[in-house]
Amino acid sequence: MGEMGNIAAIRAAMEKEQYMLKCQYAINIVEAKCKIIDEQLGMKYGREIMRSISKRIKTPESIYAKLVRKNLDVNFKTACEKLNDLIGVRVVCLFLDDVYEIARMLKQQKDVRVIKEKDYIAVPKKNGYMSLHLIIEIPICFDEKCEKKKVEIQLRTAAMDCWSVLDYQLCYKKTMADASGVMEKLKKHSETIASMDREMLAIRNEIERI
Amino acid sequence: MGEMGNIAAIRAAMEKEQYMLKCQYAINIVEAKCKIIDEQLGMKYGREIMRSISKRIKTPESIYAKLVRKNLDVNFKTACEKLNDLIGVRVVCLFLDDVYEIARMLKQQKDVRVIKEKDYIAVPKKNGYMSLHLIIEIPICFDEKCEKKKVEIQLRTAAMDCWSVLDYQLCYKKTMADASGVMEKLKKHSETIASMDREMLAIRNEIERI
Amino acid sequence: MGEMGNIAAIRAAMEKEQYMLKCQYAINIVEAKCKIIDEQLGMKYGREIMRSISKRIKTPESIYAKLVRKNLDVNFKTACEKLNDLIGVRVVCLFLDDVYEIARMLKQQKDVRVIKEKDYIAVPKKNGYMSLHLIIEIPICFDEKCEKKKVEIQLRTAAMDCWSVLDYQLCYKKTMADASGVMEKLKKHSETIASMDREMLAIRNEIERI
Amino acid sequence: MGEMGNIAAIRAAMEKEQYMLKCQYAINIVEAKCKIIDEQLGMKYGREIMRSISKRIKTPESIYAKLVRKNLDVNFKTACEKLNDLIGVRVVCLFLDDVYEIARMLKQQKDVRVIKEKDYIAVPKKNGYMSLHLIIEIPICFDEKCEKKKVEIQLRTAAMDCWSVLDYQLCYKKTMADASGVMEKLKKHSETIASMDREMLAIRNEIERI
């Protein structure tokens, strides 16, 4: 079975057993939690906290590519077991410190089990990528039973979010030899981004002190 | 404190402690459950099940009116304790039997506690009103704790839904003496509606047998 | 080129030249017009007018089926020229007289050109189908030019809308010999629906007179 | 009539004659235009163009504040005549050059009349604010007549959008004497932002050349 057949098989599996609706159920819950946190922090600090909350269910094409890249069996069952980002929620904040406070507030919730946490802000990926990743598990209940659903939550600042667009654009050309010069610049640019975030934070702190 | 002041006080209380977002959270969950049921039954029977799912959070004006009507203390705390329909979800089905199957599927869910069930289809209200009402309680989790939220789910057919519009229109004029003639007709009309639903069902069953 | 190839070719054509976005543009305008009418009539009569406004862009599968059924060349260009319902908006009203008043208000608008009007309420289709169909043309502007877009607007009561679900369900079985008995019943049922609408209207008029 | 009375009077005027729905109508059209441009440029360049399109109808409170600040008569009629931003659409792009190409594509449209254009990117406001502002006028048709609606379109990069949040936060404290130090820093920060945008653009151009 070639690439096309594999993708079609994954798509077919996703159309069964209300998979999409169950993902949407989990997204609904995570989004509701984020909005409550947004309002709580917004009232605590008297300013805007989250710039946007976006979400996606990983496409068959993208699942296929990731299974191949990770050298895993190419089928939907493996994807459900091994991939942590079939359901993704991205929270873009304005300020660096909010990223950590939101993460803390998500992690302490009673129905949330934290599976993994990766702080790519403290230690960026080697291409310069920065974000805080939480893999959590939450229960969704339907029929007579509940099911655990894993959700990857990416928390980042708006500046980091800008950077990631360039990275995304580059990744389709990465194999080319002469990308190396650009990759270096992109890495450097991520440092500009980091210092911009620190500057934002410093100015905000000063405004708050007035 | 007059009516205006009471309503303003209720509104102020509703703006605190993420009340609206928590209601929205509960609505998200109930809606996700309904959509899964809709797809499950849709696949089981190979036809459309729900015509629409609508939801509302009771307004301060409407809370006030209901507290007064029920002779309860007029404040938001009492409303939260005594009123079961602060959060309302309405599911309009096409066929009468679906109403009961959906109710059964909602009631059996692990995180759903049924507080009350009123079958105004088997025994319509004396004005002719028909619907199946479920009051359920579901947990929503945020911060370190979970909270129980009551939700009233009204299940009815599209024909019953039409009827209710006339009733709603009449209710603003109910006090007038000569409404009595109309009320009689409306009651009668609800019987037409009921027989129409039976006819719908009979034709559908025949189509399915072909 | 078989059915699959034809459908794929139609789908490919629909993905070009912002076809979907231009349809959405036209839908946005028609929906905005309907909402204004809804509010205008709602204020005029002090009651609910439209129960729902729904819209759809015809799918490649459905375009293909209609071209075949109408014995037309099976390609997207022909579809754009000959089919009037590539863009569809359905307005479901509560009362029969509102259907006609809304139609009148749509037809008089300066940027609306009426291409066709079919009153399947006055003269139902022979299977019993009732609705008022308007095919209108409106301009949408982008780039340096404007383009005319045809939109089919179906206006009907909620009761007629219920009926159409049964009809839709039957239409997949229509070829079977023994459907004839059911078709007869469905036709009969549409008369029940029509009389139910008249009853609704009569009761409403009486309520208004109180 | 004090501030509260003035605001209430503006709100009352806004609830008449389908004002909100007509604003929404204009927003629908501008949003449809922006989405078509987004897809056109996205296909032309093979990358993401717009990060977000947001829109708002100016609130009574905000209309009141602006009329006072501009020393205008405080009533809704004056607001409609003199204020250009009662309806606002904000387009956030990823790259600086896209801002200008989008503006050019909007301005050339047949039903768009450009009333005013202010390039606060070429010449930032003295506090450092950067954005390209277009005030346009488009016709919306309903009833038998059309009406011209002014819409302010703000075009900016994501980086500029970050900056504006700090500015917004500061503006509520602007009167305080010691804000001056912060204002200086904010102005300086806007230069960081501008150079960050140039860096983004340079890296993107390099990626495209690979």
> Mind listing the pLDDT tens digit for each residue in D98-111?
999 999 999 999 99
CB atoms under 10 Å from CB of C140, counted, come to 23
Q: What's chain D's Rg over C-alpha atoms? A: 19
Asked if the model's pLDDT at residue B183 lies above 90, the reply is no
Nearest-CB residue to A36 (from B22, B39, B145): B22
| Distances B144 to A106, A111, A160, D131, D152 between C-alpha atoms, Å | 9, 9, 29, 42, 44
Residues in D closer than 8 angstroms to A181, CB to CB, are 206
Predicted confidence band of residue D125 (pLDDT cuts 50, 70, 90): very high
Q: pLDDT value at position C179?
A: 65
Residue with tokens 């004090």: D2
Q: pLDDT value at position C176?
A: 60
- Tell me what the mean pLDDT of segment D130-157 comes to: 95
Q: Is D205 helix (H, G, I), strand (E, B) or coil?
A: helix
Residues 6+ apart with CB under 8 A from B81: none
Residues A56 and C46: their CA atoms lie apart, in Å, by 42
| Distances B33 to A28, A99, A147, B30 between C-alpha atoms, Å | 11, 31, 13, 5
Angle between helices A60-69 and A3-14 (to 10 degrees): 120
Taking CB atoms and an 8 Å limit, are B182 and C207 in contact across chains? yes
Q: Find the residue in A nearest to D46 (Cα).
A: A169
Q: Is C139 helix (H, G, I), strand (E, B) or coil?
A: strand
Stated as kind and residue range, the H or E segment containing C136 is strand C132-142
Residue with tokens 């989250």: A50
Closest CA relative to residue A198, chosen from A48, A121, A96: A96
Closest CA relative to residue B155, chosen from B26, B44, B51, B22: B51
Best probe of the B interface among A89, A141, A145, A146, by most B CBs < 10 A, is A141
Closest CA relative to residue B7, chosen from B70, B56, B62, B73: B62
Asked if the model's pLDDT at residue C184 lies above 90, the reply is no
Asked if the model's pLDDT at residue D177 lies above 60, the reply is no
**Phi–psi pair at D86, nearest 5 degrees:** -65, -35
Q: pLDDT value at position C174?
A: 58
Asked if the model's pLDDT at residue D116 lies above 80, the reply is yes
Residues linked to residue D145 through DSSP beta bridges, in sequence order = D142
Q: Find the residue in A nearest to D45 (Cα).
A: A169
Please tell me which residue, C195 or A133, carries the higher pLDDT value: A133
User: Which of A171-185, B24-38, C172-186 shows the highest mean pLDDT?
Assistant: B24-38
CA C102 to centroid of chain Cα atoms: 14
Closest CA relative to residue B91, chosen from B101, B78, B79, B77: B101
Residues C206 and D12: their CA atoms lie apart, in Å, by 32
Stated as kind and residue range, the H or E segment containing C57 is strand C50-57
Q: pLDDT value at position D123?
A: 94
Average pLDDT per consecutive 10 residues, chain A (210 residues; last block may be shorter) = 87 92 95 94 91 95 94 95 96 94 96 96 92 97 91 95 83 64 85 88 84
Residue with tokens 């004006």: B61
Q: Is B137 helix (H, G, I), strand (E, B) or coil?
A: strand
Q: pLDDT value at position A74?
A: 94
Q: What is the mean pLDDT of chain C?
A: 91
Interface of B with C (CB under 8 A): 47-48, 51-52, 94, 158-159, 161-162, 165-166, 168-170, 173, 176, 178-179, 181-182, 185-186, 189, 192-193, 196, 199-200, 202-204, 206-207, 210
Predicted confidence band of residue D184 (pLDDT cuts 50, 70, 90): confident
Q: Find the residue in B nearest to A25 (Cα).
A: B32
Residues 6+ apart with CB under 8 A from C81: none
Asked if the model's pLDDT at residue D152 lies above 60, the reply is yes
Residues A163 and A159: their CA atoms lie apart, in Å, by 7
Residues D97 and D197: their CA atoms lie apart, in Å, by 10
